[in-house]
C-alpha cells in the first residue's frame, strides 16, 4: 500500500455566513526499498566483494590485480554518480550517500592493500615476501568481516529510523 490514512476529521467551517462541511485527510508516503535494494545496494555490494578477489590472486600477478582494482573503482564511482543523477539534490547526506561512500572506500582500500603488498614484495628485505603474503591473508578476513558489520549496522539504523517516525503527530500542530 502506497498511502496510509493516519487521520481524518470532519468539521464545519463558517465562511461568509455559510456553513461548509470539510474533510481533512493526511497522507503518509513511505518509499518502497525493493527498487533501491536491487538497483543500488546489491550491485554495489557485488563490486565490493569483487574487489576482494584480488586478495586471492597471487601478489606477483601485478597486471591482474591492478586491472581488477581499477575496474572495481571505476565501476563503483560510475554507479555512484549515476545514482546521484536520478535522486533529487538535498543539502544533507542520505542513506544511499553513506552506503555508496563506504562502498567506494572499501574498493579503494582493496586497491591500496595491493599497493602495500606490492611494495613489501618489491623491497628486497629478508622476510618481506612473507609479510606481503600475511597482509593478503589478514585482508581476506578483515575486509569481509568489517563490511558485514557495517552492512548490519547500516540496515539496522536505516530501519530503526523508518520505524521511529511518529506518523500520528507528523502533521498536527499545537498552539503555544
pLDDT tens by residue, 101-157? 999 999 999 999 999 999 988 887 787 888 889 999 999 999 999 999 999 999 899
Cα–Cα distance between 66 and 64 in angstroms, integer?
6
pLDDT on residue 150: 97
Please give the average per-residue pLDDT across 7-25, as a whole number. 65
Burial 12-46 (b: 16+ CB within 10 A, else e): eeeeeeeeeeeeeeeeeeeeeeeebeeebbeebbe
Q: Is 105 helix (H, G, I), strand (E, B) or coil?
A: helix
pLDDT on residue 87: 83
Please give the average per-residue pLDDT across 34-54, as a whole number. 90
Q: Containing H/E element for 29?
A: strand 18-29
Nearest to 75 by CA among 34, 110, 113, 119: 110
Residue 95 scores a pLDDT above 60: yes
Please give the average per-residue pLDDT across 41-50, as a whole number. 95
Please give the average per-residue pLDDT across 80-93, as a whole number. 87
What are the residue boundaries of the structural domains of the chain, listed by start? 36-163
pTM of this prediction? 0.76
Cα–Cα distance between 118 and 102 in angstroms, integer?
24
The residue among 10 and 77 whose pLDDT is bigger is 77
The residue among 67 and 163 whose pLDDT is bigger is 67
pLDDT on residue 90: 87
* Average pLDDT in the chain: 82
Architecture of the structural domain at 36-163: Up-down Bundle (1.20)
C-alpha distances (whole Å) from 130 to each of 62, 87, 92, 96, 147 are: 17, 47, 45, 39, 26
Give percent of the chain above pLDDT 90.
47
**132 near 121, Cβ under 8 Å?**
yes
**Residues of the chain by 3-state class (helix, strand, coil), percent to 5:** 65, 15, 25
Amino acid at each position: 500500500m502506497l498511502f496510509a490514512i493516519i487521520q481524518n476529521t470532519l468539521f464545519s467551517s463558517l465562511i461568509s455566513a455559510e456553513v461548509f462541511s470539510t474533510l481533512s485527510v493526511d497522507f503518509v508516503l513511505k518509499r518502497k526499498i525493493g527498487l533501491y535494494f536491487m538497483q543500488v545496494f546489491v550491485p554495489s555490494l557485488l563490486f565490493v566483494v569483487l574487489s576482494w578477489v584480488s586478495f586471492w590472486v597471487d601478489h606477483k600477478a601485478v597486471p591482474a590485480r591492478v586491472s581488477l582494482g581499477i575496474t572495481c573503482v571505476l565501476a563503483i564511482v560510475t554507479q555512484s554518480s549515476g545514482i546521484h543523477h536520478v535522486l533529487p539534490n538535498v543539502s544533507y547526506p542520505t542513506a544511499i550517500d553513506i552506503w555508496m561512500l563506504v562502498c567506494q572506500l572499501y574498493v579503494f582500500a582493496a586497491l591500496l592493500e595491493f599497493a602495500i603488498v606490492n611494495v613489501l614484495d618489491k623491497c628486497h628485505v629478508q622476510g618481506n615476501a612473507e609479510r606481503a603474503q600475511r597482509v593478503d591473508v589478514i585482508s581476506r578476513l578483515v575486509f569481509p568481516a568489517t563490511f558485514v558489520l557495517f552492512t548490519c549496522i547500516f540496515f539496522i539504523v536505516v530501519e530503526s529510523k523508518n520505524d521511529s517516525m511518529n506518523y500520528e503527530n507528523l502533521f498536527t500542530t499545537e498552539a503555544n
